[in-house]
Structure 1
């Protein structure tokens, strides 16, 4: 990923936080049929491997787990908040007119060694962990044990586990760091005036980077 120094983010704790905040990723692999990709939620396990790992599952009917060449690194792409940035936000537009549109965004690219697993107990542990992570803050959290055991076993037979042992992470926070202070303030004000969750999230990120 192209990440100029003023946009690059290498702090591990910041990258981990971004992954946890937006765990739905695109898993990209190289295999016998070329490049393949699957959108799926991945859970970060910081205690698994020297740099941590990502775990999740794909449908058994998805050919990616069969065709992936594990001798090649895989790539998981996480996307954070993003928003269109209008030239009208910039003070520079008023002064010189020398401005163009752009897009602000957060992304984290995680490379690693990929493997797949099918053992029933390992899959059951995986789905329990994923469920607990995403249900934990709900007022009445659902648990895997709420469903009949034979039904869960049938569902486990329809998935294959994925583990990506992390070898490298690169973050890119493109949040108007290349603009002057007045233009960055204009971006924050313009996004907040536009309104909406995405615009507000990017406005907060731009303000944090000022």
Structure 2
């Protein structure tokens, strides 16, 4: 990912916070089948390794796990808030008209080499923790133990797990930091005037920047 200096995010805590806030990242690998991308939920253990370790699973029928097993480097994309930025948002446009459209966004890319596993206890631990994470805020959380054990055992045979120690992290927070304070305020206000909730989410980030 190309990251201009003005938009670079290098703080490990902030990078990991963005990763934890992204429920469905994209796992990308290059193998014998070419480039493969899978949209999958992942767990992050922020304290394991120098940058944290990711855990997840793939369908056994998904050949991407074989690329991981063969040592291919993986890239995981954690995409955050994003919004189109119109030149009309900039007060400076009225002064000199030197403005063009752009896009503001937040993103983190994590890199590493994974280890795959298919033992039932390891897989059960991953799917249980994933379920607990995403069911936590529901009034009556579903648990893996709610399903018949033989049914769960049969499903575990159809997946392959992996752990991915993160060797490198790249982060970008493109929030109009390269514009004047007046233009930044114009971007924030322009996004807040939108009826798109994604625009509002990005505006809140600009307000905090």
Residue aligning to 1:54: 54
CA distance, structure 2, for counterparts of residue 69 and residue 119 of structure 1: 15
Residue aligning to 2:107: 107
Residue aligning to 2:93: 93
Q: Is the 8 A contact 1:70 1:113 kept in 2?
A: no
TM-score normalised by structure 1 residue count = 0.95
Q: Is the 8 A contact 2:68 2:116 kept in 1?
A: no
Residue aligning to 1:30: 30
Q: Which runs of 4+ in 1 moved over 3 A?
A: 67-72
Structure 1: 5+ residue stretches without partners: none
Closer/same/farther in 2, CA of residues 132 and 71 from structure 1, 3 Å limit:
same
Residue 69 of structure 1 deviates from its aligned partner by 6.1
Q: How does 1:149-164 map to 2 (within 5 A)?
A: 149-164=149-164
Q: How does 1:9-158 map to 2 (within 5 A)?
A: 9-68=9-68, 70-158=70-158
Q: Is the 8 A contact 1:30 1:69 kept in 2?
A: no
Structure 2: 5+ residue stretches without partners: none
Q: Deviations over 1:43-79 (max 9, x none)?
A: 1012333332011111111011123464342110010
- How many residues are treated as equivalent by the alignment? 209
Question: Are 1:8 and 2:8 an aligned pair?
Answer: yes
Residue 201 of structure 1 deviates from its aligned partner by 0.8
Alpha carbon RMSD of aligned pairs, Å?
1.3
CA distance, structure 1, for counterparts of residue 48 and residue 188 of structure 2: 39
